[in-house]
Amino acid sequence: MAINVQADATPNPNAMKFTADQVLFEGSGSASFKNADETDHALAKELLTLDGVDNIFGFQDFVTVNKKPDAEWDALLPKVQEAFEKVYE
C-alpha cells in the first residue's frame, strides 16, 4: 500500500511535520516516543532508528520528527521518506 507524505516546516527549526494521506496512528490519543525500544509501532521504530532523530510525536495522519540540533534536514529528509516507504510499501 503506497503512501503519499507531505513535509512541512514548523516554527521549531529542529522539527518537521509529515502529513500522510492515510491514518498513521490509530485511536483518539497522540503518541510520543524518544527511542525505538518504547514502541511496537512500525513507523515510530523506523524513524527513531535514524541517526539524527531525537524524538517523534504522532497523531492520526501526521508525525512530527524532531531532530538533534547538530543533524541536518538535507541529510535526514531522504531517510525519513525511506522509512515511510519501507513501512507502507
Q: If the chain, 89 residues long, is cut into consecutive pieces of 10 residues, what is the mean pLDDT of each piece?
A: 90 98 90 92 96 97 97 97 94
Residue 2 is predicted with a pLDDT of 80
Residue 1 is predicted with a pLDDT of 59
80 lies in which domain range? Answer: 5-87
User: How far apart, in whole angstroms, are the C-alpha atoms of residue 83 and residue 1?
Assistant: 14
Residue 31 near residue 20, CB atoms below 8 Å: no
Report the CATH number at residue 44.
3.30.1370.70
Domain total of the chain:
1
User: How far apart, in whole angstroms, are the C-alpha atoms of residue 12 and residue 40?
Assistant: 27
Residue 67 is predicted with a pLDDT of 98
Residue labelled with grid coordinates 510520543:
32
